[in-house]
Each structure stands twice: as structure tokens, then as C-alpha cells.
Amino acid sequence: MMQTRQKPWVQQIFLFVLFVIFSASVQAHQQAVKVPVEDRSNKARAEAEKTALEEMLVRLTGQADARHIAGVDTILSNASAWVDQYSYEKEDGQQYLLFGFDEKQLRDELADIGAPLWSEVRPEVVVWWVKQHRDVVAQGEAVEDVHQSLLAQAERRGVPLRFPAMDSRDRDYVAASDIRGQFNEQIARATENYSTALAVTVLQESDQRLRWQLLNKQQVLDSGVITAGDEEHLGKQLGDIVANTLGEHFAVAGGDLQAFAVVVKGVRALQEWRQLETILQGQAGVKSVNLRRLEAERLLLAVEYAGAVEQLKQVLVFRNELSACPSDSEAALTLCWR
């Protein structure tokens, strides 16, 4: 008697869920922009709306001043049209307006005028900071002016940045001497504790001077020395430098869409697949991602992207979850999930 071979029920459910995931539309992601105001008058609110929109455009484009992008003046001329919601709040006696924007609509408009765009999903950057002969600055200790100005500027520029916990896991890999000596292999291992490959190392020599390097795993993306009149400006300059450098790698200018195949190997569970979907759909320039085939931990995807294949590869391998691996004959880009 002939027997029909059926897929295990687990795999059938897995395939069904994949279909549902890919059919779902991506929801707009809201980020609040906080602007100080003098009062609750219409004039103050109108001025704050424009300021908030300018800041949101800085976050979305990765540019230090988005006003210089051709076509952006049209967006800024009617700031209220882009406001999704707003509310007032008071903090330490200062009144603020919080604005919410529909990022999807703004991204679509920016893409139409050919503006550069940063990905919605951005890998976190870990800051390994040592001042003179002190220990590594932990998250709860990052309270000095230089740390706070760095964090504030990073937030303004849309860079997810954090100081380490410096718990036992971190101390197993890294110490202050590794930061001073630039032992990047140790720093990269500690950075993996935070599910990212990006790190900034800082050796603060005084209140007016520091040395820094920006790392992708062990690779030095950029490095230098900053001098400033005080700690506040020292931190702000570093925040801008990190944002500018990452913007060069992550920002994608709108252009003609290209369709190509991408193979991702090593995806073993639904949770991993959902992470991968979020990463791909969140990349600037990616218009669509469609699953073509699933077999033996190997995904074949059809991707539409407004850029070159090599640029998408460069952006994706910044992720701690993905790495380049031997090419696949069916794909223009082959990646391994880790």
C-alpha cells in the first residue's frame, strides 16, 4: 500500500506563521520629540512644531542639518501637517511640548525627494569610557556633563547608544587597561554581551581632551582626538562624530529599485526568523521582502532595494546576528545567521 509522506505538523504551522508574518503590514513607529516652550500659545506651539520636525528629519536622514537637503524646505513649510499627536509636560519648572510623528509618511516623502534615509532598525552602540586612571564608566555612573551631553546628542541624532553594565559578564572580557591599550579583540567580545557589534572606546585625558575610536567588532571604522572648551562640548562633538560616521555607512539615498535574491543560512527557529524579518524590513531602502523558499535552515528571499547589493551587505553585517558567508549560486547576497 502506497503511503503519502506528510510534513510534520510543526513545520506546517511554522510555514503558515511565516506567511502571516510576511502578509502583515509594517506599522508606523512613533518617536517623541521633546521641545522646550515658554507658554501654551499658538505661536509658541507653531515654532516648536517646526523645531521638532527638523529634529525628526535629522534622526531619519542621519544628517547633522537636514534643512540643507534639496526638497526638505517643502516639508518644513507645513510642519503641522506631519504632527500625529502632541502633549505638554513640565520638568524641573520648564514646560515642554512632546510631538509624535508618523515616521512612515515622512520616510515615504523623503524617499520621493531622494533624501538619504537611515534604517528604522539601528544596532546599539556600546560606549567603553575610561577617564585618566579610573575604571570603566558603568551605566549608572555616566552622570558627568560629558556623558550626559554625549547621550543627549546621540538621541537627537537617532543613535541608540548606551554605557555598559560592567557586571561580571563584562569584567570577564574587558578592563580599563584594554580600553587604554586598545585591545580591540577583548572589547569586541565584551560588546557581544549587548547583541551588537558596534562600540565606541574613549580615553578621556582631561576635561577638554579625549581620544576615541569607533569599532565594528575588531575593525576600526574611524578614530581621532577631540578637544573642546569644556566637557559639555566634548561630549556633544563626540555624539556628532559617531552619528556622522554611522550615517555614511547606514544612510541610503532614494533611487531606482533593484530586485535580487538573498539567501540566509542557519535560521533554525520561528523567533530567529521574526528577528530577521524585523531587521530586513527595517533597513532604509528596502521596499519589500518576500519568502521564495524554505529548506534545511536555508531561506531564499526576494528583496527590492533602492541601492547596490554591496551597500545592503555592508549595512547588514554590522548586525551582530548576521555575517557574510560563502556565496550561494542562487543569490546575489548570501548571509549566515548566528
Rounded-to-integer distance, Cα 214 and Cα 166, Å: 19
Dump pLDDT digits (tens) for 110-140.
988 888 888 777 789 999 999 999 999 999 9
Domains 9-26+254-337 and 125-250 belong to one CATH topology? no
- Pick the closest to residue 64 from 216, 222, 214, 245 (CA basis): 245
Q: Look at residue 189 in the predicted model and tell me its pLDDT.
A: 95
125-250, CATH topology level? Rossmann fold (3.40.50)
> How do beta strands 161-162 and 125-131 pair?
parallel
Which three three-digit cell numbers place residue 41? 500659545
The one-letter amino acid code at 216 reads N
HSE-CB for 157 with a 13 A CA cutoff: 27
Is 64 in contact with 2 (CB distance < 8 Å)? Answer: no
State residue 254's pLDDT score. Answer: 65
Domain ranges of the chain: 9-26+254-337, 32-117, 125-250
Predicted confidence (pLDDT) per residue in 239-269, tens digit: 999 999 988 877 787 667 789 999 999 998 8
pLDDT of 258 reads 85
Question: Which residues lie closer than 8 Å to 280 by C-beta, 6 or more apart?
Answer: 286, 289, 301, 303, 316
Question: Which pLDDT value is given to residue 89?
Answer: 94
User: Which amino acid, one-letter code, is at 254?
Assistant: G
For 9-26+254-337, the fitting CATH number among 2.60.40, 3.40.1130, 3.40.50, 3.30.70 is 3.30.70
Tabulate helix, strand, coil % of the chain (nearest 5): 40, 30, 30
The answer to whether the Cα torsion of 122, 289, 251, 315 is positive or negative is positive
What pLDDT score was predicted for residue 283? 83
- Nearest Cα to 36, choosing from 108, 107, 92? 92
Q: Which parts of the chain have pLDDT scores under 70?
A: 1-30, 254-255
